[in-house]
Structure formats: C-alpha cells, structure tokens
Amino acid sequence: MSSNKLTGDLSKEVSSLQNLRELSLEDNRFGGSIPEEIGNLSKLQQLSLRRNSFVGGIPSSLVSLKELQVLDLSENSLSMEIPDEIGDHLTNLTTLVLSDNKLTGGIPSSLQKLSKLETIQFDKNCSLEKFHHGCLISRP
C-alpha cells in the first residue's frame, strides 16, 4: 500500500491482521501517532512507515514484535527518545532506520545486543545525542 497518497491516522484496527508478516505503508500521507496496537502483530517481520507525517514517540509496544527483522520509520516527525528496550527484545532485527525525524536523547546502549543487525541509520535527527563509541562492540 505504498505510494497511494493515503491520509489520516493509521487505524488501531490494523492489529486485527494477526497473520501479517509485512506492513509497508511508506510514501503516503499518514499523520498522528503510530498506534500502540501495532505491537499486537506478533508475526510481523517487516515494518516500513517511512515518508509519512507520523508524530509523537516510537511506540514502546514495538518491542513485542519478536519476529521483526526490518524497522524503517524514517522521514517522519517522530520525537522523543528511542525506547531503551529495542535492543533487549528485537533480537531478529537486521535493519533499523530512524533517519530524518526529530528524535531526542541518546542512542540506547542495548543496541549492542542486536547481533543480527546489518544496517543502522540515525542521520538527520538534530536533537539526537552523538553516537557513543561504546554502543557498538565488534563481535568475533
């Protein structure tokens, strides 16, 4: 459903799609907050909501998505801090893209636990604290 000029808020009813493995709503005109109910999509492997107008924080319920491999929330107006729990729970994550938002605070040190992580992007978040070198530790 990408690039369809869809508008309005993302409905909480999206959580009723229990067998959904990929949700790609990029390049639309969605606004409002990302609903917490999105964390009920337990089989979700890919979530791309980039290039919309979402505001508010990254829902803490995303840490319930144990199968999630790709998370792209770039090019929105998300603010607040990146949830600390991301690195503790999203152990299958290979791609994390949060670029071009209004995120604040630091980059969670828990990200060093994401052993499958291949791509990580935080650029264009003016209020995000600089990347701490100890956040990522090389693994054998």
Cα 71 from Cα 98, distance rounded (Å): 8
Domain that holds residue 74: 7-135
Closest CA to 73 of 36, 24, 17, 21: 24
Question: Tokens 């600089």 label which residue?
Answer: 130
Is residue 81 a part of any domain in this protein? yes
Could you list the pLDDT tens digit for every one of the 140 residues in the chain? 665 667 899 999 999 999 999 999 999 999 999 999 999 999 999 999 999 999 999 999 999 999 999 999 999 999 999 999 999 999 999 999 999 999 999 888 899 999 999 999 998 887 777 555 444 444 44
The CATH number that applies at residue 119 is: 3.80.10.10
Whether 122 is in a domain gets the answer yes
Residue 56: count other Cβ atoms within 10 Å of its Cβ. Answer: 13
- Is the residue at 15 inside a domain? yes
What is the number of structural domains in the chain?
A: 1
Flag whether 1 is in a domain: no
Phi first, then psi: what are they for 88, rounded to 5°? Answer: -80, -25
Q: Which residues pair with 24 in a beta bridge?
A: 48
CA distance 35 to 55: 11
Q: CB of 63 within 8 A of CB of 88? A: yes
Question: Does any domain span residue 140?
Answer: no
Domain assignment of residue 2, yes or no: no
- Burial per residue of 7-35, b for 16 or more beta-carbon CB atoms within 10 angstroms, e otherwise: eeebeeebbeeeebeebebbbbebeeebb
